[in-house]
Protein backbone atom coordinates (compact mmCIF):
# COMPACT_ATOMS: atom_id res chain seq x y z
CA UNK A 1 0.00 0.00 0.00
CA UNK A 2 1.50 3.33 -1.10
CA UNK A 3 1.21 6.23 1.35
CA UNK A 4 2.47 9.80 1.13
CA UNK A 5 4.10 11.24 4.26
CA UNK A 6 4.02 15.05 4.47
CA UNK A 7 4.59 17.54 7.23
CA UNK A 8 6.88 19.84 9.13
CA UNK A 9 8.64 17.19 11.25
CA UNK A 10 12.43 17.17 11.37
CA UNK A 11 14.43 14.23 9.92
CA UNK A 12 14.89 12.32 13.24
CA UNK A 13 11.14 12.62 13.91
CA UNK A 14 10.30 11.26 10.45
CA UNK A 15 12.78 8.46 11.04
CA UNK A 16 10.94 7.47 14.23
CA UNK A 17 7.63 7.58 12.37
CA UNK A 18 8.92 5.54 9.40
CA UNK A 19 10.27 2.88 11.74
CA UNK A 20 7.04 2.70 13.75
CA UNK A 21 4.81 2.79 10.65
CA UNK A 22 6.87 0.11 8.88
CA UNK A 23 6.44 -2.15 11.92
CA UNK A 24 2.71 -1.44 12.20
CA UNK A 25 1.99 -1.80 8.47
CA UNK A 26 4.68 -3.96 6.85
CA UNK A 27 2.90 -3.79 3.47
CA UNK A 28 3.21 0.03 3.49
CA UNK A 29 5.40 1.92 1.01
CA UNK A 30 6.11 5.39 2.40
CA UNK A 31 6.65 8.15 -0.14
CA UNK A 32 7.32 11.89 -0.10
CA UNK A 33 4.60 14.05 -1.67
CA UNK A 34 6.81 14.61 -4.74
CA UNK A 35 7.35 10.87 -5.15
CA UNK A 36 3.64 10.30 -4.60
CA UNK A 37 2.68 12.72 -7.38
CA UNK A 38 4.63 10.57 -9.89
CA UNK A 39 2.93 7.29 -8.90
CA UNK A 40 0.68 5.46 -11.33
CA UNK A 41 -1.78 4.09 -10.25
CA UNK A 42 -2.14 7.10 -7.96
CA UNK A 43 -1.49 7.08 -4.23
CA UNK A 44 -4.70 6.71 -2.18
CA UNK A 45 -3.64 7.87 1.32
CA UNK A 46 -1.55 10.56 2.98
CA UNK A 47 -0.28 10.64 6.55
CA UNK A 48 0.40 14.22 7.54
CA UNK A 49 1.80 16.34 10.36
CA UNK A 50 0.85 19.97 9.76
CA UNK A 51 1.94 19.77 6.10
CA UNK A 52 2.99 23.06 4.48
CA UNK A 53 0.08 24.48 2.42
CA UNK A 54 -0.07 22.92 -1.03
CA UNK A 55 1.66 19.65 -0.01
CA UNK A 56 -1.35 17.52 -0.90
CA UNK A 57 -2.11 19.15 -4.24
CA UNK A 58 -1.66 17.00 -7.37
CA UNK A 59 -2.66 13.74 -5.70
CA UNK A 60 -5.93 12.99 -7.54
CA UNK A 61 -6.31 9.46 -6.12
CA UNK A 62 -6.36 10.53 -2.43
CA UNK A 63 -9.15 8.86 -0.46
CA UNK A 64 -7.87 9.49 3.09
CA UNK A 65 -5.79 12.15 4.85
CA UNK A 66 -4.70 10.82 8.24
CA UNK A 67 -3.37 13.49 10.61
CA UNK A 68 -0.64 12.67 13.12
CA UNK A 69 -1.87 15.65 15.11
CA UNK A 70 -4.94 15.57 17.30
CA UNK A 71 -5.81 19.14 16.34
CA UNK A 72 -6.51 19.62 12.64
CA UNK A 73 -7.00 23.41 12.69
CA UNK A 74 -3.84 24.12 10.71
CA UNK A 75 -4.61 21.37 8.21
CA UNK A 76 -8.13 22.71 7.64
CA UNK A 77 -6.70 26.22 7.26
CA UNK A 78 -4.91 25.17 4.05
CA UNK A 79 -7.05 26.52 1.17
CA UNK A 80 -5.41 24.04 -1.23
CA UNK A 81 -6.46 21.02 0.85
CA UNK A 82 -8.16 18.65 -1.62
CA UNK A 83 -11.92 19.04 -1.20
CA UNK A 84 -14.04 16.01 -0.46
CA UNK A 85 -11.20 13.79 0.79
CA UNK A 86 -12.01 12.38 4.25
CA UNK A 87 -9.68 13.55 7.03
CA UNK A 88 -9.03 11.55 10.20
CA UNK A 89 -7.52 13.13 13.28
CA UNK A 90 -5.19 11.41 15.71
CA UNK A 91 -6.71 9.88 18.80
CA UNK A 92 -3.76 8.22 20.52
CA UNK A 93 -4.25 6.61 23.94
CA UNK A 94 -0.67 7.42 24.95
CA UNK A 95 -1.23 11.05 24.00
CA UNK A 96 -4.41 11.25 26.07
CA UNK A 97 -2.52 9.71 29.01
CA UNK A 98 0.28 12.27 28.65
CA UNK A 99 -2.29 15.07 28.52
CA UNK A 100 -3.90 13.78 31.70
CA UNK A 101 -0.47 13.81 33.40
CA UNK A 102 0.14 17.41 32.38
CA UNK A 103 -3.33 18.49 33.53
CA UNK A 104 -2.82 16.71 36.85
CA UNK A 105 0.60 18.34 37.36
CA UNK A 106 -0.81 21.80 36.65
CA UNK A 107 -3.87 21.27 38.84
CA UNK A 108 -1.84 19.92 41.76
CA UNK A 109 0.67 22.77 41.50
CA UNK A 110 -2.11 25.38 41.40
CA UNK A 111 -4.10 23.76 44.20
CA UNK A 112 -1.13 23.28 46.54
CA UNK A 113 0.58 26.58 45.64
CA UNK A 114 3.73 24.96 44.25
CA UNK A 115 4.18 27.65 41.57
CA UNK A 116 4.01 30.29 44.32
CA UNK A 117 6.55 28.37 46.44
CA UNK A 118 8.89 28.35 43.44
CA UNK A 119 8.69 32.15 43.29
CA UNK A 120 9.20 32.43 47.07
CA UNK A 121 12.37 30.34 46.72
CA UNK A 122 13.81 32.80 44.16
CA UNK A 123 12.97 35.61 46.58
CA UNK A 124 14.52 33.79 49.56
CA UNK A 125 11.20 33.81 51.39
CA UNK A 126 10.20 30.97 53.74
CA UNK A 127 6.42 31.07 54.09
CA UNK A 128 3.85 28.28 54.44
CA UNK A 129 0.38 28.57 52.87
CA UNK A 130 -2.73 26.95 54.22
CA UNK A 131 -3.22 23.45 52.81
CA UNK A 132 -6.53 22.47 51.26
CA UNK A 133 -7.90 19.13 50.17
CA UNK A 134 -8.45 18.27 46.51
CA UNK A 135 -12.19 18.04 47.10
CA UNK A 136 -12.16 21.76 47.95
CA UNK A 137 -10.79 22.74 44.52
CA UNK A 138 -13.45 22.62 41.77
CA UNK A 139 -12.08 22.14 38.26
CA UNK A 140 -13.79 22.95 34.96
CA UNK A 141 -12.62 21.02 31.89
CA UNK A 142 -13.52 22.60 28.55
CA UNK A 143 -13.65 19.92 25.86
CA UNK A 144 -15.31 16.53 25.96
CA UNK A 145 -13.21 14.70 23.40
CA UNK A 146 -10.83 11.82 24.11
CA UNK A 147 -8.36 14.09 25.90
CA UNK A 148 -10.88 16.18 27.83
CA UNK A 149 -12.60 13.03 29.07
CA UNK A 150 -9.37 11.41 30.18
CA UNK A 151 -8.27 14.58 31.97
CA UNK A 152 -11.63 14.78 33.76
CA UNK A 153 -11.47 11.11 34.81
CA UNK A 154 -7.88 11.44 36.07
CA UNK A 155 -8.65 14.55 38.13
CA UNK A 156 -11.76 12.94 39.59
CA UNK A 157 -9.73 9.91 40.66
CA UNK A 158 -7.39 12.35 42.42
CA UNK A 159 -10.33 13.75 44.36
CA UNK A 160 -11.11 16.98 42.47
CA UNK A 161 -14.75 17.88 41.78
CA UNK A 162 -14.76 18.14 37.97
CA UNK A 163 -17.34 19.83 35.77
CA UNK A 164 -16.99 19.02 32.06
CA UNK A 165 -18.19 21.40 29.37
CA UNK A 166 -18.50 20.79 25.64
CA UNK A 167 -19.80 22.66 22.64
CA UNK A 168 -23.42 21.79 23.38
CA UNK A 169 -23.00 22.09 27.13
CA UNK A 170 -25.18 25.09 27.87
CA UNK A 171 -24.09 28.45 29.32
CA UNK A 172 -20.48 28.74 30.47
CA UNK A 173 -20.59 31.69 32.94
CA UNK A 174 -22.11 29.75 35.88
CA UNK A 175 -19.50 27.01 35.44
CA UNK A 176 -16.69 29.59 35.21
CA UNK A 177 -17.93 31.28 38.37
CA UNK A 178 -17.80 27.98 40.25
CA UNK A 179 -14.36 26.73 39.17
CA UNK A 180 -11.00 27.44 40.71
CA UNK A 181 -9.03 25.81 37.88
CA UNK A 182 -10.21 26.04 34.26
CA UNK A 183 -8.54 23.64 31.83
CA UNK A 184 -8.99 24.25 28.10
CA UNK A 185 -8.93 21.23 25.79
CA UNK A 186 -11.36 22.46 23.15
CA UNK A 187 -10.63 22.00 19.45
CA UNK A 188 -9.82 25.25 17.66
CA UNK A 189 -12.73 26.04 15.34
CA UNK A 190 -14.39 29.23 14.10
CA UNK A 191 -16.76 28.85 17.08
CA UNK A 192 -14.00 28.60 19.72
CA UNK A 193 -11.36 30.98 18.32
CA UNK A 194 -10.96 33.84 20.81
CA UNK A 195 -13.45 32.27 23.24
CA UNK A 196 -11.11 33.01 26.16
CA UNK A 197 -11.50 36.79 26.05
CA UNK A 198 -12.16 39.61 28.54
CA UNK A 199 -15.77 38.46 29.05
CA UNK A 200 -14.66 34.91 29.70
CA UNK A 201 -12.00 36.00 32.21
CA UNK A 202 -14.45 38.36 33.95
CA UNK A 203 -16.82 35.38 34.37
CA UNK A 204 -14.07 33.33 36.03
CA UNK A 205 -14.07 33.28 39.82
CA UNK A 206 -11.71 35.84 41.39
CA UNK A 207 -8.20 34.40 41.90
CA UNK A 208 -8.87 31.29 39.86
CA UNK A 209 -6.41 29.84 37.36
CA UNK A 210 -6.29 28.97 33.67
CA UNK A 211 -4.56 25.97 32.13
CA UNK A 212 -4.51 26.24 28.33
CA UNK A 213 -3.69 22.92 26.69
CA UNK A 214 -5.81 23.55 23.56
CA UNK A 215 -4.58 26.14 21.09
CA UNK A 216 -3.08 29.60 21.50
CA UNK A 217 -5.76 31.14 19.31
CA UNK A 218 -8.44 30.22 21.85
CA UNK A 219 -7.03 33.05 23.98
CA UNK A 220 -7.08 36.80 23.45
CA UNK A 221 -3.59 37.40 24.87
CA UNK A 222 -4.09 41.06 25.84
CA UNK A 223 -7.26 40.16 27.73
CA UNK A 224 -5.49 37.36 29.59
CA UNK A 225 -2.56 39.67 30.44
CA UNK A 226 -4.98 42.28 31.80
CA UNK A 227 -6.73 39.64 33.94
CA UNK A 228 -3.34 38.38 35.21
CA UNK A 229 -2.04 41.90 35.91
CA UNK A 230 -5.18 42.62 37.91
CA UNK A 231 -4.71 39.35 39.82
CA UNK A 232 -8.25 38.31 38.88
CA UNK A 233 -6.69 35.31 37.16
CA UNK A 234 -4.11 34.23 39.71
CA UNK A 235 -1.98 32.08 37.42
CA UNK A 236 -1.94 30.73 33.88
CA UNK A 237 -0.27 27.54 32.73
CA UNK A 238 0.13 27.87 28.96
CA UNK A 239 1.29 25.17 26.57
CA UNK A 240 0.10 26.75 23.31
CA UNK A 241 0.47 30.19 21.76
CA UNK A 242 -0.62 32.29 18.79
CA UNK A 243 2.91 32.04 17.39
CA UNK A 244 5.15 29.08 18.16
CA UNK A 245 7.90 29.40 19.20
CA UNK A 246 6.55 32.35 21.21
CA UNK A 247 8.48 35.51 20.21
CA UNK A 248 11.07 36.51 22.83
CA UNK A 249 9.41 39.91 23.29
CA UNK A 250 6.05 38.45 24.34
CA UNK A 251 5.10 39.34 27.92
CA UNK A 252 4.15 35.75 28.80
CA UNK A 253 7.85 34.77 28.93
CA UNK A 254 8.64 36.94 31.96
CA UNK A 255 5.24 37.21 33.65
CA UNK A 256 5.31 36.15 37.32
CA UNK A 257 1.89 34.61 37.02
CA UNK A 258 2.60 32.56 33.89
CA UNK A 259 4.11 29.08 33.64
CA UNK A 260 4.95 28.10 30.07
CA UNK A 261 5.53 24.82 28.25
CA UNK A 262 6.82 24.73 24.64
CA UNK A 263 3.73 22.99 23.18
CA UNK A 264 4.84 19.83 24.94
CA UNK A 265 1.84 18.94 27.13
CA UNK A 266 1.19 15.80 25.06
CA UNK A 267 3.08 14.68 21.99
CA UNK A 268 1.82 12.07 19.57
CA UNK A 269 3.83 8.95 20.40
CA UNK A 270 4.83 7.03 17.25
CA UNK A 271 5.07 3.80 19.26
CA UNK A 272 1.31 3.78 19.92
CA UNK A 273 -0.01 6.13 17.25
CA UNK A 274 1.47 4.10 14.36
CA UNK A 275 -1.01 1.35 15.21
CA UNK A 276 -3.85 3.89 15.03
CA UNK A 277 -2.63 4.98 11.57
CA UNK A 278 -2.18 1.40 10.36
CA UNK A 279 -5.66 0.47 11.51
CA UNK A 280 -7.21 3.33 9.53
CA UNK A 281 -5.12 2.60 6.42
CA UNK A 282 -6.22 -1.05 6.52
CA UNK A 283 -9.84 0.06 6.98
CA UNK A 284 -9.47 2.25 3.88
CA UNK A 285 -7.99 -0.63 1.87
CA UNK A 286 -10.68 -3.07 3.01
CA UNK A 287 -13.61 -0.65 2.68
CA UNK A 288 -14.35 -0.59 6.41
CA UNK A 289 -15.33 2.57 8.36
CA UNK A 290 -12.51 5.03 9.12
CA UNK A 291 -12.09 6.00 12.79
CA UNK A 292 -12.05 9.60 14.09
CA UNK A 293 -13.22 11.30 10.91
CA UNK A 294 -13.21 15.10 10.92
CA UNK A 295 -16.31 17.12 10.08
CA UNK A 296 -14.81 19.88 7.91
CA UNK A 297 -17.70 22.25 8.59
CA UNK A 298 -17.68 21.74 12.35
CA UNK A 299 -13.88 22.02 12.26
CA UNK A 300 -12.81 18.93 14.22
C1 LIG B 1 -1.05 18.79 19.37
O2 LIG B 1 -1.26 19.92 19.71
C3 LIG B 1 -1.88 18.04 18.47
O4 LIG B 1 -2.84 18.59 17.92
O5 LIG B 1 -1.60 16.84 18.25
Boundaries of every domain in the chain: 2-92+268-286, 93-260
| Pocket-testing residue among 9, 66, 70, 92, ligand 1, by greatest number of atoms within 8 A of Cβ | 70
Rounded to whole angstroms, the Cα distance separating 193 from 33 reads 31
User: What spacing in Å lies between the alpha carbon of 39 and ligand 1's midpoint?
Assistant: 30
Residue 72 CA, closest ligand 1 atom number: 4
Please say if the pLDDT value at position 11 is more than 90.
Answer: yes
CATH of 2-92+268-286, one of 3.40.50.970, 3.40.190.10, 3.40.50.720, 3.90.400.10: 3.40.50.720
Q: What is the 3-state secondary structure (H, E, C) of the chain?
A: CEEEEEECCCHHHHHHHHHHHHHHCCCCEEECHHHHHCCCCCCCEEEEECCCCCCCCCCCCCCEEEECCCCCHHHHCCCCCCCCCCEECCCCHHHHHHHHHHHHHHHHHHHHCHHHHHHHHHHCCCCCCCCCCHHHCCEEEECCCHHHHHHHHHHHHCCCCEEEECCCCCCCHHHHHHCCEEEECCCCCCCCCCCECHHHHHHCCCCEEEEECCCHHHECHHHHHHHHHCCCEEEEEECCCCCCCCCCCCHHHHCCCEEECCCCCCCCCHHHHHHHHHHHHHHHHHCCCCCCECCCCCCC
pLDDT in tens, 153-169: 999 999 999 999 998 88
User: What spacing in Å lies between the alpha carbon of 124 and ligand 1's midpoint?
Assistant: 38
The fraction of the chain above a pLDDT of 70, given in percent, is 100
Q: Class of 93-260 per CATH?
A: alpha beta
Fold match, 2-92+268-286 / 93-260: yes
pLDDT in tens, 79-112: 999 999 999 999 999 999 999 999 999 999 999 9
Residues contacting ligand 1 via CB (< 6 Å)? 69-71, 90, 268
| Mean pLDDT of the 246-270 span | 97
Q: Whose CA is nearest to atom 2 of ligand 1?
A: 71
* 239-263 as b/e: b if 16+ CB within 10 A: bbbeeeebeeebebeebebbbbeeb
| Mean pLDDT of the 229-239 span | 98
Mean pLDDT of the chain: 97
Residue 68 CA, closest ligand 1 atom number: 5
Please say if the pLDDT value at position 57 is more than 90.
Answer: yes
| Mean pLDDT of the 274-296 span | 98
Question: What's the predicted TM-score (pTM) here?
Answer: 0.96
Residue 67 CA, closest ligand 1 atom number: 5
What lies within 8 Å, CB to CB, of 167 at 6+ separation is 186, 191, 192
Q: What is the pLDDT of residue 167?
A: 85
| Mean pLDDT of the 60-72 span | 97
Q: What is the pLDDT of residue 252?
A: 98
Q: What is the pLDDT of residue 64?
A: 98
Q: What is the pLDDT of residue 130?
A: 95
User: What spacing in Å lies between the alpha carbon of 58 and ligand 1's midpoint?
Assistant: 26
- Residues annotated as catalytic are 215, 263
User: What spacing in Å lies between the alpha carbon of 263 and ligand 1's midpoint?
Assistant: 8
| Mean pLDDT of the 121-136 span | 97
| Mean pLDDT of the 218-240 span | 98
| Pocket-testing residue among 9, 69, 188, ligand 1, by greatest number of atoms within 8 A of Cβ | 69
Please say if the pLDDT value at position 257 is more than 90.
Answer: yes
Q: What is the pLDDT of residue 249?
A: 98
Please say if the pLDDT value at position 18 is more than 90.
Answer: yes
Amino acid sequence: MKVVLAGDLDPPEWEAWRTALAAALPEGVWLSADEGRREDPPVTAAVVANPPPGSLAGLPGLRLIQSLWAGVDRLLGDPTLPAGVPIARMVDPAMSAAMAETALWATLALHRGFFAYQLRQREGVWRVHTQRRADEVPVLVLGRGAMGNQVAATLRRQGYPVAPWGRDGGPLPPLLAAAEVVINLLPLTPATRGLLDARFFAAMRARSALVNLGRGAHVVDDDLLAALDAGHVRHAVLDVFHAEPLPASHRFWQHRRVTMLPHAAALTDPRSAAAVVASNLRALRDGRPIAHLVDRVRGY
